[in-house]
Each structure stands twice: as structure tokens, then as C-alpha cells.
Structure 1
Amino acid sequence: MALRSATPAMALGGAPRVNLMPRAAIERRQRATLLRQWVWVLAATLLVIAVVSAGAYTLQAAAQQRLDAENARTSGLLTELAGLQPVRTKLALQTDLTDFRSRAMGTDIAWAPVIAEFTRALPDGLFFEGWDLSPGGLLQGDDPAAEIGLQGDLLLTGGDPRDMAPLIRSIRALPGVLDADGWTQSFEENSYHHVVRVALDQSVYTGAFAGESDG
């Protein structure tokens, strides 16, 4: 009977392989692979740059369109404003004239009520011969009752010198009178001629043109 050996047979991994490609070729292949990778990276970079550039260009174009629209709107408004210049000039002239009239007519006085008040204060037998009254200035402060608005002389005839004292008191009691004084001027043709000097506050101004420039 034949005996078999207990030692296992050596298992071989296969036929040996040897890379016979020259080293220069291997390096050339590696350089080609690396070159392709760089080409792809460069292409991707260029693509990103192109996309970003296109987006920036689009945003710039949109901004330029908005700027052009605003410039056109501004030009239109300036044109309209230039067209309104004659109107503004006329309005400014009207305002100036109104201001001038307000200042010029600021001392406008309602004469009839003033003379009527003086007439009611006259005693019997004493009459107006005339008057020499002139307006004061424009209001300088805040209280029209503290500034002179009308002053001058009342020329009276008739009566008696003894009538002057009660007459002066009556005139001083009239509304708006700041001061009153008087004396006998002359005696002619059997009649006394008197002078009463008066000063009234600015409540005698009508105010008809006051504040027109504010409108």
C-alpha cells in the first residue's frame, strides 16, 4: 500500500507579472492625466467666472436702466419746472406788491367813526371848525394800544373857555385816546376859537390790508 506525504503542496498565486513599460512613458501618462485634471479645473473656473460675469453684467444693465429712467424723470421735472418759472415770477411779484400795499396801507384809518366820537364829546354850542390829524407809524411792538396811531389838532369854534376843561376830560375818556390837551387860540368875530391836541392809539387803524401777504 503506498503512503502519501502529509506535507501540503505549495499553492502558487499565478503567473508573475512584470511592468515592462519604460519609465518615461509612465511619467508621460501621469503628466497627461494631471494635465487633463488641470484642464477640467480651468474649464470649471472659467465657467464660474463666466456665470458671475453674466450676473454682474445683468445687474449692471438693470441698474443702468433704472438710472436712465430716473435721469429721464429728472429731466422731465426740470423741464416742467422751467415752464413754471414765469408763473413763479408772477407769484413772487404779486407777493411783493401785496407786501408793499400791506405796509403802505397799514396805517389806514376809518375817519368817520373817529370824528363821530369827537363830535359826540363836544358840549352844546361848540362845533368843529376843522382838524389837522395825521396817522402814526406801523406797529413796532405787540400792543397796538400802547403806540400812537393818530395825532394832531382838533380846531373848534364857539363855546366858552370854561368849556375846555370838561371837554378835555370827555375826550380823554374816549376809547383809544392816549392823551388830550387844549387851550384857547383866539377870540374873533365874537367867537372863541380853540385848539385841542389829541393822540390816539393804533386801534383806530382799520387793519383792512393787514395779513394779506400771509394768504
Structure 2
Amino acid sequence: MKFYLTKAAQRQAESGEPRSQDGARARASTASAALDESSRRARSRRSVGQAPAPTATAASAPAAPPPPISRSKPAKGVIAIGGVPRVDLLPPEVRAERHAAVNVRRAWTGVVGLVVIVGVAGATAAIYASAATATLASSQKETSSLIMQSAGFSEVNTVQNETDLVGAAVRVGGSTDIDWPSYLAKVKATVPNGMELATVTIDSATPVVAYAQATTPLEGQRVATLTFSSTSSSLPDVPTWLTSLRTLPGYTDASAGTVALSAGVYTSNVVVHVDSEAFSKAYSKEGK
């Protein structure tokens, strides 16, 4: 059996709040529809030869209760026909005020978070600063202790400084030293046979005065000048001697002087210039 509800009955069933007059009208309409359907089916059965079904008058037939109506929420995307109408009468100013309140709460939350971060950073920096201060105080204390301990060795430090000063003076004073005995022995070995070394004149640099250099363009730098005088009974072989002098340490250049004959004896002069390679370096650190 099917029941057809009017729109008023459907709205009444969905709202769940029946009204006195509307409810009575809805029930009467439902009962009338049920009786008409029952009479129609009885007439159809008699027309096909079936046994007649007992009929009931409108007064004696009880009103059939309407079937339960589900109040489940409509699915999304489906328009509910006959639903409860809703109207949002909230002013826009109230929504704007609520939205502003939400923004204010978010802003205050950000401010509180920033304050927390700054506080944590400040606390961390304070901890590191305290540790650095403690380390500095410990280092200063250790330095003061070392200074106090070194004060007991002040005399030793004085002697050490004086020793260093004397050593520096020795190195400066011996910077132009040439081992002349050994050097003259090498010069004597270069004298040719038949000639004898008679006199030697030495002019060398000093630690405090620079040695005068030659003005002749072809002469090299020198730190000392040696002038030799030799004698021989025959004509001296000066060119051979000049060639042998090139083997001397620090040799720069050499030149022959005059050759004189007196009482059967030949006297010849030779001038030799030497550079810094002739220094002995006995008093420098490199020479030790």
C-alpha cells in the first residue's frame, strides 16, 4: 500500500513540530487517500473474478498511521527539497569584527613567540659570555702566576740579554774579517819560480766604514786591496803571476805595476782587489 503525503504533511514530518489544525488536515487527507486506494483495488479484483474483499466505510475504517520519515542529512551536492529554510541575518560588521579579533589573536601569538625566541637567544648568549669571562679570568690568573715566577730569574734574564748583546757586537765586528795569514799563504803559492815576495800592503774595509770603491767603470766591487812587491834576479814573469792570482778566494781583478832594475835585481809591483767572498765568516752564525 502506498501513501502520498502532501507538502504540508511532508514539512510537518521533517520539522517534527506538528500543529493542531495542520496535523488534523494532514491525517484526514491521508485517510481519504488510503480509502480511495482500497476501493480501487477491490473493484479491480471483482472485475477479474476474484473474491470480493471486505470493504470498510469511511466512518468505520481506522486512519492508517503515516510511515516514518527518515531525517537523515542529504548527501553533499544534493538539494534537499522541502528542507528547513535558513537565513543568516548576522550583520557584516559583526563578521568583520570577529575576523579582526582572529587576526589580533594571531598577531599576539606571533609577538609572544618572538619574545620567547629572543629570550632563549639572550639566555644562550649570556651563558656563552659567562663561559668566556671565566676562561679569560683563568688565563689572566695563569699569566700573573708566570710573571711572578719569572721575576725570580731577573738576574738570569739580564745576563742573557748582555750575552746576546756581546754576541751581536762580535758578529758585527767580525763581519769584515779576513784570515790574512792563510790568505797570504795562498798568495805566496801563486808566485812564479825565480821570484820572491818582498812586501805586502793591505787596505781592507772596517765594520763601521764602507770601503771606497773605484771610479773606473771596468773595475768591480771590492772590500780590500793588496799591493805586492816581488824581486827576482832575472826578468820577472809577471803575466804568469797575474794568471795564477785568479785562483784566490774573492778575486775581483789584478793589475801589474812597474818593473825596475837596480843593482842587478828586478823589482815588480802587482795590485789585487778582492770582494766579500774573501771574508772568513768566523764570527757569524753561518761560520759556526
Q: TM-score, normalised by structure 1?
A: 0.54
Highest Rg: 1 or 2?
2
The CA deviation at 1:137 is 5.2
2:271 corresponding residue in structure 1: 197
1:106 corresponding residue in structure 2: 175
Task: Select the structure that is richer in strand.
Answer: 1
Distance 1:153 1:71, change over 3 A: closer
Task: Tell me, yes or no, if the aligned pair for 1:149 and 1:205 is still in contact at 8 Å.
Answer: no
User: Counterpart of 1:106 in 2: which secondary structure?
Assistant: helix
Distance 1:202 1:163, change over 3 A: same
**Quick one: distance in 2 between partners of 1:187 and 1:167?**
18
User: Counterpart of 1:94 in 2: which secondary structure?
Assistant: helix
User: Counterpart of 1:148 in 2: which secondary structure?
Assistant: coil
> Residue 111 of structure 1 aligns to which amino acid in structure 2?
W
2:156 corresponding residue in structure 1: 87
**Quick one: distance in 1 between partners of 2:178 and 2:166?**
21
Paired-residue identity, %: 21
- Pairwise CA RMSD of aligned residues? 3.4
Q: Is it true that 1:169 corresponds to 2:238 in the alignment?
A: no
How many equivalent pairs are there? Answer: 145
Task: Tell me, yes or no, if the aligned pair for 1:127 and 1:158 is still in contact at 8 Å.
Answer: yes
User: Counterpart of 2:145 in 1: which secondary structure?
Assistant: helix
The CA deviation at 1:124 is 1.6
**Quick one: distance in 2 between partners of 1:183 and 1:72?**
76
Deviations 1:81-119 (A, max 9, x none): 222222222111111110110111122222233223222
Instruction: Choose between structure 1 and 2 for higher RCO, CA contacts under 8 A separated by at least 6 residues.
Output: 1
Q: Is it true that 1:132 corresponds to 2:201 in the alignment?
A: yes
**Quick one: distance in 2 between partners of 1:72 and 1:185?**
82
**Quick one: distance in 2 between partners of 1:71 and 1:118?**
65
Task: Tell me, yes or no, if the aligned pair for 2:195 and 2:236 is still in contact at 8 Å.
Answer: no
Q: TM-score, normalised by structure 2?
A: 0.42
User: Counterpart of 2:175 in 1: which secondary structure?
Assistant: coil
**1:142-153 map, 5 Å:** 147-153=221-227
Distance 1:150 1:71, change over 3 A: closer
Deviations 1:34-80 (A, max 9, x none): xxxxxxxxxxxxxxxxxxxxxxxxxx9xx99x95x777655432222
**Quick one: distance in 1 between partners of 2:233 and 2:172?**
41
Gaps of 5+ in 2: 1-129, 211-219
